[in-house]
Structure 1
Amino acid sequence: MMSVSVLVISGGDMADPDRIGRDMREYSSPVLVCADGGARYAAAAGVVPAAVIGDMDSVDAELLSYYESRGSVVIRYPVSKNETDTELALRYALSLEPKEIRLYAALGGRIDHTLANISLLSSSMLRCVDTRIIDDRGELFAVDDRAVVRGSTGQTVSLLPLTTEVSGITLEGFEYPLCEATMEPGRPYGISNRLAGTEGRIQVRSGRLLVIHYSDAGGEAGATSM
């Protein structure tokens, strides 16, 4: 049975690195994995990762040596490779057979890196594991079946297609409900919906939908895939 929760730190923006330590305490069996420069955020938070993975072009050798002395596994890849450091870290996370993956510092900075990290949510390798990008304003995750978004009334929830077509989209508990709708790239009408209460339900018949849940309206963002 999968019981490990893996927290992966990428190299994007992270205003509050201490959140890593706080969030780790919420899980019974957390494992921290850093993608290259994400190791700097772990150092700022005062935590030691189980593994640091990547081409190591964004983290200094002294920090890596310190982590190795504390038992961290350091896996080095060449700079010239087909995978991003974040993808490699996620693949390592999957090798641990986790029940869930939380990806931090995946947004901000270079827009190509941000888009690449979001696109990873559509990867077939992640479809069997509850995987979410966490940032300072909320969370992002993908749906290809059903999900429940839990939060506060008025919180913004935006929906975008991750595949060429997402059909059979039904929304309940939102300010703008849908019934058997279709979304395609280039028609972003799923932007800026809102929770009508504390819970919104999403159902998708085919395709993969990106859910962006902001916690702006008060309360904590939270969602459960079903």
Structure 2
Amino acid sequence: MRAFEIPSLSLCIYRKGKRMLSVAYGFSNLRFEQRATPNNTYRVASISKTITAMGIAELVNRGQLSLDSRVFGAKGILPLLAVDQGHPWLRFITVRHLLEHSSAGWGNQEKIEFNRTPQTKRLNGTALLEFYIRAYAPKFQPGRQHLYSNIAYVILGRVIEEVTLRPYEAFISDVVLQPNHIEARMGKTEAGENEVAYYSPDNANPYTYWSPSKLNAAAGWVMRAEEVGCFVFSDAFQR
């Protein structure tokens, strides 16, 4: 922790589904010298993608969705997302491609989700996704290679909303989190109750550099380390 200037760490160890250890080290807030405890919550970043994938799997199991369904275009799941001005390959992207990071676009190395130009700061929801789709063309034909992408999972969140006609967060809470007695919430720009304070080694503001709510299905969830452990040993995860 000292070597990498990490202010706090929450550790939870499970063995055969039973919690063996739950401890925290360091400070949840350096400014106020508050000690970290196992009750502190953290942004769990890309663990959110696994949660989203479980939501997609539930829809597939229910017969409400096919992994090979096309996402964009007039006959796609999200027909209202304007792809007419985008690359022709966009119309061939399927749910499976988004899940497997083989959709060919919006790779993390470009950091487009952190592009905080005056234009993108004003955009949310559909308008922001349409900006990404128009501005960043696929790098290869969908399914040919893998390219890790936050935006692909944000789109999967929209797929869940379109299929269920419910907000992403509400659906995930009902079918993934609550049945497994997992407490979690969607992060906001400012820290919530019991949430640790965040710091950035490069002096970027961790509260304005990116918005958890905009990356909800990709990196938006907040929970305790114990909840992450419960999640890994949940019936839904094991399936």
TM-score grouping bracket, smaller chain normalisation: under 0.3
Q: What's the TM-score, normalizing by structure 1?
A: 0.23
From the CA coordinates, give the structure whose radius of gyration is larger: 2
Q: Decide which structure has greater helix share.
A: 2
Q: Decide which structure has greater strand share.
A: 1
Q: What's the TM-score, normalizing by structure 2?
A: 0.22
